[in-house]
Structure 1
Amino acid sequence: MALPSAPPRRRLRVAVVGAGVNGIAAAKAFRGAGHQVVCYEARAQLGGVWAPASHYPGLRLQAPRELYVFPDTGPLPPPEYDEEYPTAAKVYAYLKSYADKYGVTPCIQYNTRLVRAEPLYDRSDGGAATAASTAAAPGVAATVTVSALPTHAADGGKGLDGAAKGTAAAPAAGAAPAADAGVAAAVSSTGPAAAPVGWRLTLRTVPPELQQAEAGQCGGGGGGGGGGAAAAPAGPTLDKGGEGQDAGPREWAEEVDVLIIASGSFDDPKPPAYKGVQDFLAAGGEVLHTAHLRTALRRALAAAQTQKGQQQPRAGASGGAGDNGPCAIAAGASAPGPAVVTARFPAEPERGTEEGTEGGMEAGTDAGTEGGMEGAERDACRRFAQLLAGGRRVVVVGNGKSGDDVAAMLAASGAAASVTHLCRRNKWAVPRAFAGLVSLKWTLGTRAGVSLMRPLHPRPWPLGPLWEAARWPLLRLMEAGMRLQQGLAAAGAVPPHPLDVGLDASLHVEPPGYFAAVHGGRLQRRLGAVGALEAGAVVLGDGSRLEADLLILATGFRRSMPFLPPDLYGKIVRPDGTLDMYHAIYPHEIGGRSLFVLGWNPGLYGCLIADIAARWVLEMAEGRIRVSREQMRAYNERLYAWADAHFSPVAAADIRSGITVAYTWAHVDDMLHDMGASFARLTPWERLRLYCAPVAADLYTKVKATIPSERP
């Protein structure tokens, strides 16, 4: 069933949750189209994982600078990117400058969290809307009748109408319906109403000085919807009249036409619950997730800055009263709760950002390695390693990007008594330069290079068979070069699948010095899994023991949307993790034009994907995407069948969960196709750049200009 024609254009009230890369792109797109936008950011800074309060020293882009820019930045790297692999501080400066330039910064309300989102359903008796929360989480109102998206705010801060919180404005006479009722009828046929036409949001603003008291966990999130910081807020914040900020956290409600969840996938750490953890802790051991490691670093650096000359406590050894430190994981403890985790001490000066994401080629760290680091960064990394691991026997579990980063940092510092990297399976880690000569930006940074991977859409005959015959030997040559260059056989690190078969979310760039540390004996690498913990040791599944005082878990993050009613979340994510979202953006089983998710579709080029996806959301919200729910389902089923047929089980599961690493360019092109964009206006020289130059993100500005303002 096709979506009906778009309703007459009106100004939408848009809430963006998270001011990371995806949130900035979404706010820019909707603000540029004349809509009313507020971006709610839980931290005191924009930038998500790149925010200064979210990182440890040494973190920088793991991919060349050309691969991490928005299209309208232009053909040259931004001035903030004055080196090939910019530090996280420089990436943050770029994002801040970009948000300032395009008017996003004034739209951001910092230190504000989404607590609950209730769908508003259109009624046929005059345009009133109903906020329903069937099977809602405890504490969520079952059913509330509200007027059709009045401009009001009940408490704290500034609302979408610009009024100070604590005031309530009556709905304007003759207010327009929240959304086109026909859209709802076309997209969904179940529930008390066809599809949501808007959302009632419960928001909580926590003044920075109170975030420490409210935070129940340590660590930070990934995308901006969670996380926190204790720096002074900027942008629209609490009205300082009335009760004042010392009254504590405040909650209020907003009603919006469009809710864009851009809080990312890295808010909720996923630490396993090991047997024997209490015995390990009782013997003086410590267990940290890498998300908590960031907090431990910030604590150590803050202590070093404020207590110069004094002996500093071991990171994580003291903190939360009555526990094993704020970063310790007790037996059976769950990961930090709802998408909101806050730091407990002041933000440090800008240096660099959070651990690399498990599924992209952007964020990464050279922490502790000799190559590519400035002296101040290197010193800070060594100081942190000494505080965290000095004289201790360290085991790092997990070999995605963050696991490789931490293991390399600790091994290079020489601070620990021993560093062992425990890997469940071998994974591909791409070198910065193949054979030490060809930068990865000319291979995996180009359309031509990525086309060596398995295509989502079959190429026409005879191009398809010819290209297949050519790509196979080229890939095998690339793999052979990596084995030789990194010494994978000697390190026992040869992956079980070819690169194009095992192309899962863990694909990342090798931290400089990682394999050198393995071959030099400074880093012990073991294959296996943790079976249990005991006093002073990690027991592996095969019964062997690794002596350890510190266990660092690079075990990834779980996705969650605790602010959504469980019945709606179940229409987005299946029990096995498969997404029912078109392009991993639009929850077609919920329907309507009011709910979108950005940041669950990580690929090779974060800024470009964020920009194209944000424009797709704008086109969909304004009613110009002409794809039916049946077509969306069919697209996903074909995508998932392709994944199951051509990739390893892990890589196929990643594709089902929205990861686009294996088909990044098809993902981008399919979104552009939905919008009616065309590459026809590109000159022959621009087409050559499009395929052979690193990303060539600037050309997509010209491509987006071809999107028709009206479509039949």
Structure 2
Amino acid sequence: MTSGSRIGIVGAGVAGLACAKVLSQAGFPVEVFDRAPDVGGVWSATRRYPGLRAQNSKTTYAFSDHPMPEDFPRWPDGQQMQAYLAGYAQQFGLGPHLRLGTEVLAADPVDSGWLLEVRDRDGVHRATCDHLIVANGVFSDPVLPDLPGAAAFRAAGGRLCHVSQFHDVEHARDRSVVVLGYGKSACDVAEAVSHIADETTVVARRLTWKMPRKLGFGVDYERLLLTRMGEAHFASRFPRLAERLLERLAFRQSNMDLLQERVTRKLRLREHDLVPTGPISEMATAGAALATEGFVEQVEAGRIAVHRDTEVVELIGGQHGPAVRLADGSLKLAELVICATGYRQEVPFLTPFVRRALTDEVGDFRLYRHILPVHVPNLSFAGYNSSTASALSAEVGAQWIAGLLTGKFVPPMPELMDTEIDERLSWSRERSGGKHAHGASVIPFSLANVDEMLDDLGTPLPLTSRLAQWVRPLRPTSYRGVLRNHAVAAPVAPAAAVVADR
């Protein structure tokens, strides 16, 4: 593909912005489409819920060449994360490439690339590009459970919404709130509303392990999931020497047992009947959860009640007001029901034929390195390697795509890529019990995934930096030189980005 080839990117979140920056600097004409009016993806004002906060500290959740502002707190909130990404777009001159408030309705493959149908404030238009990058995020399509009784519930004054649609905490004031789910977003929003709601109830089908930010004795969330020693405590697909040594000396299991007990005591899980049924190693399957600050304290104060190992089976309306029925038959007053029930990984704008070529019989995405569909030309994915190092993973992934498009990196033969995808998906399904975000997650092996992409590009991280990562959480700035050296020089006078037929 030549440097004048036009690149269309769907999504202006972390991954989409990283691709726009890297590919525009490589000289490609780039156009980024996002239906939201601002950049940020999950951090957009249109999706932020009360209590939203980054799981990573500002030193690890950053691009290699764009540090967080010094006046940001160690754990930025949703508004600060959006501001950080807006600053990234401004620093690297991405404004002219952005078409915000513009939704991609359809993308059809044609001989010359892709024909797009997009909708903005002026209506529906056509656009074209030579290569399409899907960066709509693995949390793009909110899932609302299909609960019977919704019409009567709403008629009785109840409100039902997904957590991504709940933006104003004041809507919970003096109301009975029920939160469905027990992931990070469920606990975040429950803690936020519990301070002003009349009562707050969390209904958890299954409790999951969560890591406090600090455990003491030099151990914290990032030392477990963002160091090479931490990754070595999880059984990987290709065990390295340190991992085999931990296993042979029985250190891995004993350390995980100690960690589980420490977390149980730190968060006082036994006292509140909040000990999950599975081992703590299950914490890192498709996602990793950071314990919400203040959640346990609100449980202790009686401001949050957790109903574990059950679910809401019906919404109730009537003369006594809105309520929910649990699986055991009990009723719970519920003027506001917030569903923190996850997302689907969807690409609805692609044709059914293309979608079938992208996924297998169980809906898992068949992407080499979580980026490249083997049998669909002129298409790649960004951000489908969901990671505990999201910004860095997206940045390296963008360099991988740039290397592919410029010919600096040549992928293996299709049959070899298919075999690798088969083996990875089979291993991921078995390891996680199918909870691997349809093949779009690399957690807890975020560093290993970055290593793979850099090895493909022939620019591995220097040994000194890799050794430091055994005991110190990754620092994105350590990758600045590697990524700068790999960057492709921009040609003179690039062509117009995307031709729109108005």
Contact persistence 2:203–2:306 (CA under 8 A): yes
Task: Out of 49-58 and 614-623, give the one that drifted further.
Answer: 49-58
Match of residue 471, structure 2, among 689, 692, 708: 692
Q: 1:517 to 1:625 in 2, by over 3 A?
A: same
1:670 is paired with a residue whose SS is helix
1:389 counterpart residue number? 172
One-letter amino acid of the counterpart of residue 626, structure 1? P
**Partner residue in 2 for 1:585:** 371
Q: Secondary structure in 2 aligned to 1:609? A: helix
Contact 2:49 2:165 in 1 (8 A): no
- Pair 1:280 & 2:153 matched: yes
Query: CA 1:286–1:250 in structure 2 vs 1: closer, same or farther (change >3 Å)?
Result: closer
Amino acid at match of 2:468: R
Aligned to 2:39: 46
Please give the secondary structure, in 2, of the residue aligned with 1:564.
Answer: coil
Counterpart contact for 1:15–1:39, Cα < 8 Å: yes
**1:399-421 alpha-carbon deviations (Å, 9 max, x no partner):** 1111111111122x1x3222110
- Paired position in structure 2 for 1:230: none
Q: Is the counterpart of residue 200 in structure 1 residue 200 in structure 2?
A: no
Q: Is the 8 A contact 2:55 2:290 kept in 1?
A: yes
Amino acid at match of 1:677: T
Q: Distance in 2 between matches of 1:14 and 1:93?
A: 25
Partner secondary structure for residue 96 of structure 1: helix
Give the whole-Å Cα distance in 2 for the aligned partners of 1:577 and 1:683: 38
DSSP-derived class of the 2:445 partner: helix
Contact 2:286–2:435 (CA under 8 A) maintained in structure 1: no
Which one of the candidate residues 293, 299, 323 is aligned to 2:166? 293
Which of 381, 385, 393 in structure 2 is aligned with 1:601?
385
Residue of 527, 530, 534 corresponding to 2:312: 530
Equivalent in the alignment of 1:59: 52
Once the 2 structures are TM-superposed, how far is the Cα of residue 118 of structure 1 from its aligned partner? 1.0
* CA deviation after TM superposition for structure 1 residue 440, in Å: 2.5
- Provide the residue aligned with 1:103 in structure 2: 93
**Equivalent residue, structure 1, for 2:133:** 260
Closer/same/farther in 2, CA of residues 80 and 111 from structure 1, 3 Å limit: farther
Residue from 646, 650, 663 that aligns with 2:431: 646
The alpha-carbon deviation at position 584 of structure 1 amounts to: 2.2
The residue number in structure 1 matching 2:183 is 400
Q: Which residue in the other structure is 2:263 paired with?
A: 482
Q: Cα deviation per residue 1:266-314 (whole Å; 9 max; x = unaligned)?
A: 33221111112223223222212112212xx2xxxxxxxxxxxxxxxxx
Kindly report which structure 2 residues correspond to 1:230-629, keeping only aligned pairs within 5 A, or say none: 249-294=122-167, 297=168, 384=169, 387-411=170-194, 413=195, 415-435=196-216, 438-460=219-241, 464-468=244-248, 469-527=250-308, 528-535=310-317, 536-590=322-376, 592=377, 594-623=378-407, 624-629=409-414
The 3 A distance-change label for structure 1 pair 546 and 53 is: closer
Equivalence for 2:496: none
Question: Which residue identity does 1:661 align to in structure 2?
Answer: I
Bigger relative contact order (CA 8 A; separation at least 6): 2
Given that 1:446 and 1:692 are in contact with CA atoms closer than 8 Å, whether structure 2 keeps it comes out as yes
Matches within 5 A, 1:220-231: none
Could you tell me whether the CA contact under 8 Å between 2:106 and 2:116 is conserved in 1? yes
CA distance in 1, matches of 2:251, 2:129: 52
Partner SS for 1:30: helix
1:681-712: per-residue Cα shift (whole Å, max 9, x none)?
A: x363x343333322121222333356598xxx
For 1:281 and 1:45, how far apart are their aligned partners in 2?
Answer: 31
Cα distance in 1 for residues equivalent to 2:435 and 2:463: 39
- Asked if the contact 1:42/1:110 (under 8 Å) is kept, the reply is yes
* More displaced stretch, 635-644 vs 10-19: 635-644
Gap change, CA 1:82 and 1:272, over 3 Å in 2: closer
Q: Aligned partners of 2:444, 2:221: CA distance in 1, in Å?
A: 16
Q: Distance in 2 between matches of 1:496 and 1:689?
A: 35
**How many angstroms apart in 1 are the aligned matches of 2:151 and 2:125?**
41
* SS of the residue 2:53 aligns to: strand
Contact 2:50 2:192 in 1 (8 A): no
Q: CA deviation at 1:442?
A: 3.1
1:136-215 map, 5 Å: 178=112, 198-206=113-121
Change (3 A) 1:45 1:655: closer
Distance 1:53 1:567, change over 3 A: closer
Deviation at 1:43, TM superposition (A): 2.3
> TM-score, normalising length from structure 2?
0.89
Distance 1:389 1:653 in 2: 32
What's the CA shift for 1:33?
0.8
For residue 82 of structure 2, what is the amino acid of its counterpart? Answer: Y
1: CA distance between counterparts of 2:46 and 2:106?
A: 26
Aligned position for 2:498? none
Cα shift at 1:57: 5.2
Distance of 1:417 and 1:113 partners within structure 2: 39
Q: What is the distance in 1 between the residues matched to 2:487 and 2:395?
A: 17
SS at match of 1:626: coil
Measure the CA separation in 1 of the matches of 2:252 and 2:265: 20
1:259 Cα deviation after fit: 0.6
Residue of structure 2 equivalent to 1:211 = none
SS where residue 79 of structure 1 aligns? coil
SS in 2 for 1:500: helix
Whether the 8 Å contact between 2:176 and 2:200 is mirrored in structure 1 is yes
Post-superposition shift, 1:502?
4.5
Once residues 262 and 656 of structure 1 are traced to their aligned partners in structure 2, the CA distance between those partners, rounded to angstroms, is 16
Matching of residue 633 in structure 1 with residue 418 in structure 2: yes
Map of 2:493 onto structure 1: none
Per-residue deviation, 1:101: 2.2
Unaligned runs of 5+ in 1: 1-6, 122-177, 179-197, 207-248, 298-383
Rate the CA distance shift 1:578–1:432 in 2: closer, same or farther, 3 A. Answer: same
Q: Deviations over 1:321-346 (max 9, x none)?
A: xxxxxxxxxxxxxxxxxxxxxxxxxx
> 3-state SS of the aligned residue for 1:420?
strand
Hey, what's the Cα distance between the residues in 1 that align with 2:456 and 2:400? 8
Name the amino acid aligned to 2:359.
Answer: V
The amino acid of 2:364's aligned partner reads: T
Q: Secondary structure at the match of 2:238?
A: coil
Question: Over alpha carbons, which structure has the higher Rg?
Answer: 1
**CA pair 388-285 structure 1, distance change in 2 beyond 3 A:** same
Aligned alpha-carbon RMSD (Å): 2.4
Q: Partners of 2:361 and 2:440 in 1: how far apart?
A: 14
Partner of 2:491: none
Moved more, 260-269 or 498-507: 498-507
Instruction: Give the equivalent residue in structure 2 for 1:678.
Output: 460
- Over residues 565-607 of structure 1, what are the superposed CA-to-partner deviations in whole Å (9 max), with x where a residue is unaligned? 11111111335221111222222132x2x11121222110110
- 2:426 and 2:19 map into 1 onto residues whose CA distance is 30
Q: Provide the rounded CA distance (Å) in 1 between the counterparts of 2:417 and 2:116.
A: 28
1:93 is aligned to 83
Shift of 1:509: 0.9
CA distance in 2, matches of 1:93, 1:282: 39
Specify which of 26, 29, 39 is matched with residue 33 of structure 1.
26
2:4 maps to 1:17: no
Shift of 1:263: 1.7
Q: Judge conservation of contact 2:22–2:487 (CA < 8 Å) in 1.
A: no
How far apart, in 1, do the equivalents of 2:437 and 2:423 lie? 12
Matches of 1:420 and 1:463, distance apart in 2: 41
Aligned pairs, number? 482
CA distance in 2, matches of 1:276, 1:89: 35
